[in-house]
């Protein structure tokens, strides 16, 4: 944790997208964007248009999308990006065999945006309209999701990590074309100059903040914060360890809102131990059916946690895509990480954590309100009263998940 950050909680794309557009329209040097899903329609469209405008006035604009989340950029936007100078890359193209190759399950799932190295956005919100869903279709009520707007020292960490990935992707692309000298130059660029843009730090702090939207939280100054990564090299377990530490240190209350909640053995036991020492543990999880494994595999885990005394509610109004948590009034995290095997073992993820009591209280108040007004209580009687076919699907899904993890050499 480092002090000196400015943080603001953003709820949904309706808060995030205008803030991104306003910051992009003020950009002078560099815009970096990474996202899992980018749908060029409705409320997400102004973000693409802001990137295009910035590139036309000479700002260097870089975009990375995941090949699974964004199978293709629309031809119109390929042409518009090329004409304006927006540079974009696809992370881990699938090839002919697609996801049949287990190594290709390692996806780019983080959602990041850094502008001029001085203001950043991190969270779980993809670049897709809040009412659009790639599985559920058009939603009657906007999905629930969060991001955080941040300025301060950790933005330099975000920029350095995004720069490294960008140059590695470029090096891989040139190597595939057998442009080996260019590939070596790009690879070197990925490993030097992590603080090339450090001189930009502090410049944004002297500017006015991005105007707040209707779904933005209060602007918090002087917050202690950090950004945590999950990758397949040096940061395999950083985010999981942060959760474990926060759970172990909780004394009164834990609230976790997580879309795809299938925690492993260590997280399950940590939550049970927290309940045993008197901590109230509340979970808000996805209540909508999306896919077989995502819906059924968590049920045996839910039953185990309910028996341990954890309170679980399913979000009812719409789709839940949030990945946030608070511990007492001293710790909070907002990011892209689901507490499931895909996020914790395979995907590239990013979470901002803070110990600022003002930010934690605001997020905690919002989650408490949702738990009380928008969550449907899940209990053992409800789970056991379902038809036997539904309960059988739960265990089949859970067994399939464990078998796949075993085949890929992971313990969870």
Give the active site residue among 5, 32, 109, 288: 109
- Number of structural domains (the chain) is 2
Look up 328 and say whether it is catalytic: yes
User: Catalytic residue at 109?
Assistant: yes
* 57 and 198 belong to one structural domain: yes
Catalytic residue among 43, 116, 133, 394: 116
202 lies in the same domain as 243: no
Choose the catalytic residue: 5, 32, 323, 362: 323
Domain check: are 54 and 139 in the same one?
yes
Residue 380 lies in a domain: yes
Of 412, 350, 410, 401, residue with least CA distance to 109? 350
Question: Does one domain contain both 38 and 171?
Answer: yes
pLDDT digits (tens, 9 = 90+) for 246-290: 999 999 999 999 999 999 999 999 999 999 999 999 999 999 999
Span 210-242, pLDDT tens digits: 666 667 789 999 999 999 999 988 999 999 999
H or E stretch at 149: strand 146-151
Q: Nearest-CA neighbor of 86 among 111, 119, 121, 50?
A: 50
Residues 6+ apart with CB under 8 A from 309: 272, 275, 276, 281
The pLDDT of residue 201 is: 45
What pLDDT was estimated at residue 254?
A: 98
Is residue 124 in some structural domain? Answer: yes
Q: Is the pLDDT of residue 198 over 60?
A: no
Specify whether 269 is catalytic.
no
Q: What is the mean pLDDT of residues 369-398?
A: 94
- Domain hosting 67: range is 2-206
The count of residues in the chain is 412
Known catalytic membership, residue 208: no
In a domain, 96, yes or no: yes
Domain co-membership, 248 together with 129: no
CB 123, CB 146: distance < 8 Å: yes
Q: Of residues 5, 32, 66, 111, which has the active-site annotation?
A: 111
Is residue 211 in some structural domain? no
Q: CA–CA separation, 201 vs 117, rounded Å?
A: 7
- Same-domain check for residues 199 and 268: no
Same domain, 310 and 366: yes
The answer to whether residue 214 is domain-embedded is: no
Do residues 248 and 202 both lie within one domain? no
Strand pairing category for 323-327 and 253-258: antiparallel
- For the entire predicted model, the pTM comes to 0.92
| 192 shares its domain with 255 | no
Triad 248, 312, 137: Cα angle to 5°: 120
221 in any annotated domain? no
Q: Do 72 and 156 have their domain in common?
A: yes
In this prediction, what percent of the chain has a pLDDT beyond 70?
A: 89
Neighbours of 280 (CB within 10 A): 14
- Among candidate residues 328, 340, 356, 394, the one labeled active-site is 328
Q: Quick check: is 321 catalytic?
A: yes
Q: What proportion of the chain, given as a percentage, has pLDDT over 90?
A: 81
Given 145, 321, 356, 394, the catalytic residue:
321
- Arithmetic mean of pLDDT over the chain: 91
Query: What integer pLDDT is reported at residue 222 of this predicted model?
Result: 97
What CATH number is given to the structural domain containing 65?
Answer: 3.30.870.10
- Residues 46 and 102 both lie in one domain: yes
Residue 215 belongs to a domain: no
182 vs 109, higher pLDDT: 109
pLDDT at residue 38 greater than cutoff 90: yes
Q: What is the spatial distance between Cα 172 and Cα 157, in angstroms, rounded to a whole number?
A: 23
User: Do residue 303 and residue 360 come from a single domain?
Assistant: yes
Residue 114: strand pairing partners: 32, 120
Q: Is 362 a catalytic residue?
A: no
Cα separation, 65 vs 110, in Å, equals 10
Q: Is residue 136 part of a domain?
A: yes
């Amino acid at each position: 944790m480092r002090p000196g950050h400015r943080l603001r909680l953003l709820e949904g794309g309706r808060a995030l997208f205008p803030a991104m557009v306003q910051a992009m329209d003020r950009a002078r040097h560099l815009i970096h964007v990474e996202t899992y899903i980018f749908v060029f329609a409705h409320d997400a469209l102004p973000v693409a248009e802001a990137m295009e405008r910035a590139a036309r006035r000479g700002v260097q604009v870089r975009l990375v999308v995941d090949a699974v989340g964004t199978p293709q950029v629309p031809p119109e936007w390929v042409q518009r990006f090329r004409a304006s100078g927006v540079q974009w890359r696809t992370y881990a193209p699938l090839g002919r065999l697609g996801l049949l190759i287990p190594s290709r399950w390692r996806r780019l799932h983080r959602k990041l945006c850094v502008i001029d190295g001085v203001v950043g956005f991190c969270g779980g919100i993809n670049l897709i309209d809040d009412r659009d869903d790639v599985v559920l279709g058009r939603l009657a009520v906007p999905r629930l999701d969060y991001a955080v707007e941040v300025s301060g020292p950790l933005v330099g960490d975000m920029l350095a990590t995004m720069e490294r990935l960008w140059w590695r992707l470029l090096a891989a692309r040139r190597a595939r074309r057998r442009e080996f000298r260019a590939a070596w130059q790009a690879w070197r660029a990925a490993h030097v100059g992590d603080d090339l843009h450090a001189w930009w730090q502090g410049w944004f702090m002297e500017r006015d903040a991005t105007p707040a939207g209707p779904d933005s939280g209060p602007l918090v100054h002087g917050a202690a914060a950090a950004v945590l990564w999950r990758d397949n090299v040096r940061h395999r377990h950083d985010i999981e360890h942060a959760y474990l530490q926060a759970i172990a240190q909780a004394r009164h209350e834990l609230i976790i809102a997580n879309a795809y909640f299938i925690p492993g053995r260590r997280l399950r036991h940590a939550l049970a131990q927290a309940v045993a020492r008197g901590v109230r543990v509340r979970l808000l999880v996805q209540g909508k059916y999306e896919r077989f494994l995502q819906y059924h595999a968590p049920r045996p885990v839910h039953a185990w946690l309910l028996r341990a005394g954890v309170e679980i509610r399913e979000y009812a109004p719409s789709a839940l895509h949030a990945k946030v948590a608070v511990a007492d009034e001293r710790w909070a995290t907002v990011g892209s990480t689901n507490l499931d095997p895909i996020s914790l073992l395979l995907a590239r993820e990013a979470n901002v954590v803070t110990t600022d009591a003002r930010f934690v209280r605001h997020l905690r108040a919002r989650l408490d309100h949702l738990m009380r007004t928008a969550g449907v209580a899940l209990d053992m009687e409800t789970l056991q009263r379902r038809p036997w076919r539904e309960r059988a699907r739960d265990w089949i899904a859970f067994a399939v998940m464990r078998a796949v993890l075993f085949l890929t050499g992971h313990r969870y």
